[in-house]
C-alpha cells in the first residue's frame, strides 16, 4: 500500500503550464487545506507557489526569494513528505508537443539555477511510475520521454523530480494535456511497481534508449553525451548516491567514444557498480 500522505506536488502560478495544471488538479478534487496556497486530496499535498521554481533566464537567479521560491526541505519536514513532484512547463526551440520526466542537477555550470557540478536527490521508481502513466494514452500529437538530468533545484535533501508539459505556449495552455499530466501524476503516485534502479550515460537529451528501457528499469540520473566531458568521479558518485532507490545497474548508450566508455566503466567499478550494460 502506498502512503499518499508522504508525497508533495509543487507548481508555480508564474508558470503558464503551472496555471493550467493547477486548474486540472482542482477539477480532480484538490481543495485548500490549512492555508490558501496549500491544497490537499486523499493525503497528497499540492503546494502552489507564486514564483518560478526554475529561473526562466540563463545564469539569472532571482534575488528574492533567493534562490528558490520556497524551502522544500522545510515543507518536507513539516508535512512528513518523502518526495516532491514538480509539475512544470517544458521549453524547447523545436516547440514539439511533449510530456517529459527527469531528475535535476548540473554537470557543469549552473545555467538555470542550482549549484555548479551538483545533482539533486531523486527517486527513480516514483519517477518511472509517472512516466508509465504518461505513456498509457497521451493526447494526440504528444511524445512522452525521459530527459537527461538538467537545471535546478540541486541543494535540497528531499528527493524530487519534474513532470513537464511542453514545449511552447500553445501546449502550456492546452487544458486537455494539462489534465492528462495531472491525472498521470496522481496515478503514478499510487503505483506499487518497483523495478531495478539504473543510471544512464550518453545519448541525446531526450534519451531515446533510456526511454525505451524505462519499461524494465527505473532511470534516476542520466548524464547525456554532451555532458560527458564534464563528468568526473565525484559526479558519477553523485549519480549513484543521489538516486535514492539504490542503483543496481548502469547503462552506457551507443555512440560513446572508446575513452568515454573506459572512463565511465572504471569509475563505476570503483563505486561497486558491476552490472554495466553497454549498448552498441
Distance of alpha carbon 255 from alpha carbon 1, whole angstroms: 41
Q: What pLDDT score does 39 carry?
A: 97
Domain 4-189 has CATH 3.30.30.10: no
How large is the average pLDDT for residues 214-230? 97
Intra-chain end-to-end CA distance of the chain, in Å: 39
Q: What pLDDT score does 220 carry?
A: 98
- Cβ atoms of 105 and 221 within 8 Å: the answer is yes
Residue among 218, 185, 223, 176 at smallest CA distance from 204: 223
Distance of alpha carbon 218 from alpha carbon 83, whole angstroms: 16
Local structure of residue 195 (DSSP, 8 states): -
Please write the tens of the pLDDT for every residue from 223-267. Answer: 999 999 999 999 999 999 999 999 999 999 999 999 999 999 999
Q: Pick one of 3.40.50.1110, 3.40.50.40, 3.40.50.2300, 3.40.50.10700 as the CATH number of 197-278.
A: 3.40.50.10700
Q: What pLDDT score does 85 carry?
A: 98
Give 65's pLDDT tier (boundaries 50, 70, 90): confident
**pLDDT at residue 91 above 90?**
no
How large is the average pLDDT for residues 61-72? 89
CB atoms inside a 10 Å sphere around CB 160: 24
- CA–CA distances in Å: residue 37 to residues 64, 130, 181, 254, 261: 18, 24, 20, 45, 47
Distance of alpha carbon 141 from alpha carbon 165, whole angstroms: 13
* pTM, 2 dp: 0.97
Please write the tens of the pLDDT for every residue from 12-24. Answer: 999 999 999 999 9
Distance of alpha carbon 220 from alpha carbon 205, whole angstroms: 14
* Torsion sign (Cα): 72, 52, 92, 164: positive
Local structure of residue 243 (DSSP, 8 states): B
Percentage of the residues of the chain whose pLDDT score is greater than 90: 89
- For the chain, which residues make up each domain, given as ranges? 4-189, 197-278
How large is the average pLDDT for residues 159-165? 98
CB atoms inside a 10 Å sphere around CB 261: 16
- Cβ atoms of 165 and 17 within 8 Å: the answer is yes
Give 1's pLDDT tier (boundaries 50, 70, 90): low
C-alpha cell at 130: 509517472
Q: Is 91 exposed, middle or buried, given 0-12, 13-18 or 19+ CB atoms closer than 10 A?
A: middle
**pLDDT at residue 68 above 70?**
yes
How large is the average pLDDT for residues 99-116? 96
Higher confidence at residue 63 or residue 191? 191
Give 2's pLDDT tier (boundaries 50, 70, 90): low
Percentage of the residues of the chain whose pLDDT score is greater than 70: 99
The rounded mean pLDDT for the chain is 95
Amino acid at each position: 500500500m502506498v502512503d499518499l500522505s508522504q508525497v508533495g506536488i509543487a507548481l508555480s502560478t508564474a508558470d503558464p503550464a503551472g496555471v493550467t495544471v493547477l486548474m486540472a488538479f482542482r477539477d480532480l478534487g484538490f481543495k485548500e487545506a490549512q492555508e490558501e496556497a496549500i491544497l490537499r486530496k486523499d493525503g497528497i499535498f499540492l503546494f502552489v507557489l507564486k514564483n518560478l521554481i526554475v529561473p526562466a533566464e540563463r545564469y539569472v537567479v532571482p534575488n528574492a526569494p533567493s534562490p528558490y521560491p520556497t524551502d522544500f526541505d522545510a515543507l518536507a519536514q513539516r508535512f512528513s513528505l518523502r518526495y516532491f513532484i514538480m509539475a512544470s512547463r517544458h521549453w524547447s526551440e523545436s516547440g514539439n508537443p511533449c510530456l517529459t520526466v527527469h531528475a535535476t542537477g548540473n554537470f557543469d555550470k549552473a545555467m538555470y539555477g542550482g549549484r555548479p557540478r551538483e545533482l539533486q536527490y531523486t527517486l527513480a521508481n516514483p519517477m518511472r511510475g509517472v512516466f508509465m502513466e504518461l505513456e498509457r494514452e497521451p493526447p494526440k500529437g504528444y511524445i512522452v520521454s525521459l530527459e537527461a538530468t538538467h537545471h535546478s533545484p540541486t541543494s535540497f535533501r528531499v528527493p524530487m523530480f519534474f513532470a513537464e508539459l511542453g514545449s511552447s505556449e500553445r501546449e502550456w495552455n492546452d487544458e486537455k494535456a494539462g489534465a492528462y499530466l495531472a491525472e498521470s501524476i496522481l496515478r503514478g503516485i499510487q503505483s506499487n511497481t518497483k523495478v531495478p534502479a539504473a543510471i544512464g550515460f550518453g545519448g541525446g537529451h531526450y534519451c531515446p534508449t533510456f526511454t525505451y528501457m524505462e519499461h524494465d528499469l527505473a532511470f534516476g540520473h542520466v548524464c547525456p553525451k554532451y555532458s560527458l566531458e564534464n563528468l568526473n568521479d565525484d559526479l558519477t558518485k553523485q549519480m549513484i548516491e543521489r538516486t535514492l532507490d539504490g542503483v543496481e545497474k548502469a547503462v552506457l548508450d551507443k555512440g560513446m567514444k572508446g575513452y568515454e566508455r573506459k572512463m565511465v566503466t572504471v569509475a563505476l567499478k570503483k563505486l561497486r557498480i558491476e552490472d554495466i550494460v553497454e549498448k552498441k
